[in-house]
Structures are given as structure tokens and as C-alpha cells.
Structure 1
């Protein structure tokens, strides 16, 4: 009975994902992920409002993103860090820190809740939708906040995806590693990184991907830190409630983040066959695109637009912080 209730919404999400993958072949600048969430928003706010879709879209939004995060672990190794050197690692760590601090500060100034600020900070600093999906449970974020931030991060990522290749070429000329650092150190999702770097050349894709993978590998650290921040906030606000101090929030990793870490460690120790990594990457991508289609279907466009000005300022502000800090750090640390 439960499967029957899930199938309509899940099936519709899969259909939108398939259409998005097809359209992405003709509009590679947008990418399947962005197309999926846009098609979902249009459909979910017009002719796909049926209540019977809600269970399936909720399942796709939460569970498929979780599996997508876990499978990412099989596509990377700790040894990857060595390819960008100490200065490259330093650049990524400082860039992520600036992005997180900037997103939290700006979100506070604009009056957003702590959960919104943490989701925005993690989504931009680490890996977009996957990071948001990983952070949401440990900070007990509601579905509306998660959907809103995922939509905003993907839309802003699309804008940066189209502009960073031009900006990188204008500032760094023919240096593929510097342009790769700018794209891989700034853009939110792996798909956006690959699409943007492909507008330059294949060598830039390789460097940009390495910088991006370094950010993804910090996902576990960010989830742990944000979980602790959330727990501390609850304890400070409700110190008199004994149950809150003992609920364990922030102490344990979600199962899929632990799975991500285990697969990454396993791949680092024994080097899994190439087909395993390729299969994990393909399945992870399909799960993410299907989940993004479901998020679009579930997003209340009226509520999203109601907060449009503040959200636009937030997205633009965080994007500006990321790009300016990346340009400054690349010039200081990597350019020589």
C-alpha cells in the first residue's frame, strides 16, 4: 500500500529527470540538475498539484538525495588532495571558511533563521544540494527551508556557471590551473563545475574537478560542526528542558554521510575498479536530478517569490563573497 502511494510522485519525478537529461544535451550550459528543478517548479505550481503526488515527491526529495550523497564517496580518494598541493588545499580551506562565515553573517543581517543560514552556508561552501541534504537532518531543518535554499543555491549556481569561465579567462588568461581553481573552488554542484570548466577546455575540467572534490571531502567536517552549532543553540535557548540536552542532536552522523566516508576510505585504501566509481557516479547523478525534480514539484512558488527580494539579495551577496574571496586567494596563494 505504501509503495502504491509513493509511485505516482516518484514516477513523475523520474519522468522529469529523464526529460531534463535529454534537454541537457541541447542546453549544456544549464545542465540537467537546473533544468529538473525548473521544470519541477513550473509543473508543481500549475498542472501537477495533485495531492496524490506528495508522498512520492517527498520520498524522492529526501531518500534519493541521501543515497546520492553516499554514492559520491565511491567516486573519490584521499590521494586526490595531493594533486593540488599544499597551497591548493590551503586555498580551499580558507575559501570554504570565508564562504561559511560570510553566509552566516549576511543571513543574520537579512533576518533569516539560523537553519536557513546554515543550509545556505553549507550548500555554497561544499557541494550544493548534496551538502544541504546532509546538513538538514542534523540541524532539524524543515522541508520548506531545505527546498527554498536548494532552489536558491541552484539558481545562483547557474548564473555563476555561465559567468565564471568568462571572468576566469579575462583575469587569469591561459592558466588552466588558476581557472580550474576559480571554477572548482566556487561553484556549488559537481555538474555545474564540469559544465563551466568545459566551456574553457578539458584540462581545466580536470583541475576544476580536483578542487571541487577537495571541497566535497570536507562535507563530513561541515556536517559535524553544524550539528554541534545547532545543538548548542537549542541547549542555550532551552537549557531548562532536560530532554533537549539529552537528545543527542549533532553527536552522530546521518547514515548516508557515514556511508560516504566509508566508501571514500575504502576507495582510498584499495582503489575500487573504475567501473565501480563510474557506476556510482551515474547512479548518484540520476538520484540527485530526480530528487531536484521532486523538490521543484514540492516548492510553493508563491511563498518563494514572497521572500524574493531578500532571497535574491542573499544569493547575490553570498555569490559575490565567494567570487571576490576566490579571486583574492588565488592571486595570493596560487599565482606565481
Structure 2
């Protein structure tokens, strides 16, 4: 009991700061509605996190805000989405996701080999970029028996790349595809590494893009089971071993919860105040989480990473972006 209280106390400073930054962002957004609270929260977080609020005691709370509140935000999104909404992605949307994942996995492993990275690091980089960032890396690492150093280096690189793409892809999306909701959503939801980056990047366009980009993203996450299975079998074949190691179920709990709520929402007409309340809470959780993402972003890490890592990251980001743009045009996702 004492341990639980202590852990909650450790979370409070960072959580409180994330909430304050989110509230300030919402107030400023009243004067700058084009930017919006979510965008301002992450930008304000980046500025404050790299100047005044670098203290270690804030880390537990900002990490909690970034991960748990964002996960809850995704779950609540289920109350605003039905199968009718998901069906708008269409068969071409599903083909886009499968093609993107295949291209990214093959290209990332190939680029990694050319740059002299180990096979395990290439596989982890491929999983993180093709599926869902750190979560995918965490699920694939034990399946291929990757060591902690490899895992830590790739998680850092994937997060750095995702942050750069999160800030640049919304500009590319609006420049190339005008006001096309599905094209914007496919570009962001089909490429960005973590759920937080998808939400943050899509928020720079509008709230509707957040909703649809998340559908693309969640479909990618569902395929995590397949990716883990393929890489595990590949590793076993290369090592000529049969592993019986038990691992946690690879699909994150919030994706399953989102899908269950989506099923209920599709079958039963929920009262409007209920869905409105879910949307309101989801938006606040999202804004607080984005403030925390900004507060946790260490700009010095961009400079610290060696040139080989940076070349790998930029090469992978370029492949993802170009592949997504080409597929959106070919599959007419508009």
C-alpha cells in the first residue's frame, strides 16, 4: 500500500505540469484557433521542457501522461467511431496499409544491412517504423532475442525520427493533397511510428484527421501479431531452435478496448450526451498527453546521435514518406 501511494506521489508533479501546460495551450488557442490547443500544447511543451523544466522528478508524471492518458484517449475514441466510419477506409485503405508495412519492413532491413547495422537492429527498426514504434520494438525484441543495448538504441532512433516526421508530414500532406481527409489520414496514420505521434501530427491539421488517421494506425497495430509471428519464425529458422518462451499478448490493451467499444457503438445507438462526454474527455486527455510528449522531448538527443544513426533514420523516413505518397496516388485514396 505504501509503495502504491509513493508511486502515485511520484507521478503528481509531472502530471500536474502537463495539465497546466495543456490548460495554458487551450487558453492561447482561443486567440489562435487555427493552431488549436493540441498543437500549442506540444509546441509549448517542447519549449518549456528544454528550458525550465528538465528536472528528473518530473519524468514519472510526464511519462504517465504521455502513455496512459493517450491510451485512455484512444479507448474513448471508440465511442465516436463505428464500423460505418471504419468502412470509409475501404479495400484500398486496407491494401495501402499492408503494402506500406511490407515495403517499410523490406526497405528498412535492406538499408540497415547496407549501413552495417546488425540484423537484429534492422528487424527492430523495421518493426518500430512499420507498426507502432516502441510498443512493436518491445514485442519483437524477445522474439528475436535482441539485447537491451540494441533495443534501447533503436527505440531512441525511432522516437527521434517519429518526432521529425510528426512535425513535417502535416505540411507535406496539406501541400500535396489539399483538403483531402483520407489522403491526409493515410499519410500520417500509415507512416508515423507511435500513437502519440499520429495524434500530434494529425492535430496539426484538424480533429477529423485525428479520428481517421487513428483508424489507419490502429489497423497497423492489429497486424503486430503477424509481424511478431513472422520475425519469431524467421529467427527460429536461422538459429535452428524451437523456443517455448511465453510472451505477453502483442496487441496493446487499448487497441482491444477501442475495438470492443467500437463494436458496441456500431450495434447499439448510444445517447448523444454519452458520446459527447467521451469526446470531451478524450480531447482533454489527448491535449495533456501531447503537452507531456513535448515536455519529454530532449532536443540534445538529436545532436548526440552519431551520423550513421541519423543517416539511417533520415533514409527510413524518406522511404516511408515517398512510398506512402506513391501508394495514396496509385490507390486513389482521396
Q: TM-score range by the shorter chain?
A: 0.7 to 0.9
Given the alignment, which residue of 236, 254, 261 partners 2:259?
261
> Equivalent residue of 1:256, what SS?
helix
Q: Which residue of 2 aligns with 1:51?
A: 56
Aligned counterpart for 1:12 among listed residues 14, 17, 25: 17
Matched, 1:60 2:65: yes
Aligned counterparts of 1:289 and 1:321: Cα–Cα separation in 2: 30
1:207-286 mapped onto 2 (5 Å cutoff): 212=213, 214-216=215-217, 218-219=219-220, 221-229=222-230, 231-232=232-233, 235=236, 245-249=244-248, 251=249, 253-286=251-284
- Equivalent in the alignment of 2:169: 160
**Secondary structure of 1:218's match?**
helix
SS in 1 for 2:188: coil
Partners of 2:238 and 2:48 lie apart in 1 by: 40
Q: CA separation of 1:181/1:2 partners in 2, compared to 1, >3 Å: closer, same or farther?
A: closer
TM-aligned CA deviation for residue 95 of structure 1 = 1.4
When structure 1 is superposed on structure 2, of 3-12 and 133-142 the one drifting more is 133-142
Q: CA deviation at 1:326?
A: 0.5
Q: CA deviation at 1:7?
A: 0.7
Residues 157 and 255 (structure 1), Cα distance of their counterparts in 2 relative to 1, 3 Å cut: closer
Name 2:330's counterpart in structure 1.
328
- Identify the residue that residue 80 of structure 1 maps to in structure 2: 85
Q: Does 1:36 align with 2:35?
A: no
Q: Distance in 1 between matches of 2:80 and 2:228?
A: 25
Question: Conserved in 2, the CA contact under 8 Å of 1:161 and 1:195?
Answer: yes
With structure 1 as the length reference, what TM-score do the two structures score?
0.73
Q: Over aligned residues, Cα RMSD in angstroms?
A: 3.5
Q: How does 1:280-319 map to 2 (within 5 A)?
A: 280-305=278-303, 306=305, 307-319=309-321
Offset, 1:246: 2.5
Instruction: Tell whether the 8 Å contact from 1:92 to 1:214 is kept in structure 2 after alignment.
Output: no
Q: What are the residue-to-residue correspondences of 1:186-197 with 2, within 5 Å?
A: 186-188=187-189, 189=198, 192-193=201-202, 196=205
Which structure 1 segments of 5+ residues have no match? 123-130, 170-175, 199-204
Q: Size of the alignment, in residue pairs?
A: 301
Contact kept? 2:41, 2:288, Cα under 8 Å = yes
Alpha-carbon distance, 1:25 to partner:
4.9
Ranges in structure 2 where 5+ consecutive residues have no aligned partner? 1-5, 113-120, 143-150, 190-197
Q: CA deviation at 1:116?
A: 3.1
Q: Distance in 2 between matches of 1:300 and 1:116?
A: 20
TM-score between both structures, scaled by the size of structure 2: 0.73
Measured in 1, the distance between the counterparts of 2:176 and 2:19 equals: 35
> Which residue is equivalent to 2:127?
118
Distance 1:191 1:61 in 2: 11
Residue 94 (str. 1) matches residue 95 (str. 2): yes
Residues 83-116 of structure 1, C-alpha deviation per residue, up to 9 Å, x if partnerless?
Answer: x3xxx51221121123222322333244254333
Structure 1 residues 11 and 229, CA gap change in structure 2 (3 angstroms) = farther
Q: Distance in 1 between matches of 2:310 and 2:31?
A: 30
Contact 2:38 2:203 in 1 (8 A): no
Cα distance in 2 between the residues matched to 1:191 and 1:41? 13
